[in-house]
A and B are shown apart, each in its own frame.
Chain A
């Protein structure tokens, strides 16, 4: 099954981290060298992919038109879903990036007796995708308390807001639960919906399982296998200021967590996760639909190649065409 190999891969990563945390030098390798390497590969990889994309010419206007295009004055244009101005594109992009507008349009097709095909709106994917991404953002920002000193005010505010239910000690963060719930939904959807399962590949399951592993080890570290947060901040803050040191006793669970995070960072630029940058660069979203207002010249047109009309073509090949019985316009 296509789900087994990514599952085994994540378990193997955990096992590697668990063993490496025990051997001498393994902690420095996983806590200092690997994070730097992974972060550099992540940044370099993202820039590389973006530059690669930017090198591909997009000579034609190919926005997906999701509404009425700009037309006669008495036909109402859908200014955001079929934008003909820069402002419209900016609004469209903001809605897409911040609110996943195109997922909001997700539909499902169902067969009923008859046979009758019925299309309905399906908002769950949109809802859980939104929860997933925003929880992830909050969690990443909350982690900044481990990389900065003094900790910026907005991070403290996020921690406060996230823990405002004041359950337990250390306080329970709502985003942790929302995050796990959203990953579970995104994962189970690929397993239980036959049509989605059919198109799911290891490259779809692996990031989900990996992120689930990261979230789970993080939550376990907070609730079950407590770790010395002061010693960990000494390491992580050291990473951010280029003077890392492993001091005190840091539990193996931390090394599993950071090993999975490093795997994610390294994997990121070469996987579907690049949609983080890709969403900004999709010509189907970020182009102005003005092909009827502006003439777009193909940038790689060779000026030496002159237009070749059909009449000229026929003049050139008339004999051959006649010979093989192809009708010609001019005898």
Chain B
């Protein structure tokens, strides 16, 4: 092999970078988010699995529907639970602890919804 002095360090650097998540601060796998579910309510505005995967799309739909199409500000689930179609007055009424619910997942998945630039979190609202 020629150029050992350069190629071997370069290969080690390459392998190190590629496997970085395996050795660098990869953290504890068992530390999963456990969003605290509301105690006073039994169901969400849509089936739980749907909420887990697509709640951000639902919020976007609500926002566009209410603010642009003049859609209704209230809704009802198939089981008859009535709710307010609103980020602050709907989601956050049932999920009143943002830190223990929304943020728990979001920190894990590294998302920072910018909604709170304008919308108020439950504690601030009080």
Contacts and interface: CB of A to CB of B under 8 A. Distances in A.
Nearest to B23: A240
Interface in B1-29: 1-4, 7, 10-11, 14-15, 18-19, 21-22, 24-29
A187 interface: no
B33 interface: yes
B2 A280 contact: no
A233 interface: yes
A251 B50 CA distance: 12
Interface stretch (B73-81, B91-99, B107-115): B107-115
Contacts of A228: 49, 52-53
B120 interface: no
A159 B53 CA distance: 19
Given A148-B21, A148-B27, A237-B29, A280 B10 contact: yes
A273 interface: no
A164 to B, nearest CB: 9
B29 A54 contact: no
A128 B31 CA distance: 41
Interface string B26-54: 11110111000000000000000100111
A43 B9 CA distance: 15
Contact of A230 (B31, B33, B57, B114): B33
A249 B52 CA distance: 10
A54 B15 contact: no
Contacts of B7: 50-51, 54, 281
Given A170-B111, A233-B108, A249-B49, A51 B25 contact: no
A226 B28 contact: no
B67 interface: no
Interface of B is mostly: helix
Contacts of B114: 166, 171
A227 B14 contact: no
B27 to A, nearest CB: 4
Interface stretch (A150-158, A196-204, A315-323): A150-158
Contacts of A25: none
Interface residues of A, number: 48
Contacts, number: 99
B105 interface: yes
A168 B60 contact: yes
Given A43-B15, A149-B31, A280-B10, A169 B22 contact: no
A243 interface: yes
Nearest to B114: A166
Given A230-B32, A234-B32, A169 B27 contact: no
Nearest to A147: B21
A238 interface: yes
A58 interface: yes
7 contacts: A149-B28, A150-B25, A151-B110, A169-B56, A169-B57, A230-B52, A230-B105
Closest 6 CB pairs of A and B: A147-B21, A149-B27, A145-B110, A151-B110, A169-B60, A226-B53
Interface of B: 1-4, 7, 10-11, 14-15, 18-19, 21-22, 24-29, 31-33, 49, 52-54, 56-57, 59-60, 105, 108-114
Given A57-B2, A150-B25, A155-B110, 13 more contacts: A43-B19, A54-B1, A148-B24, A149-B27, A150-B27, A168-B60, A170-B56, A171-B114, A229-B53, A229-B109, A237-B26, A241-B27, A249-B49
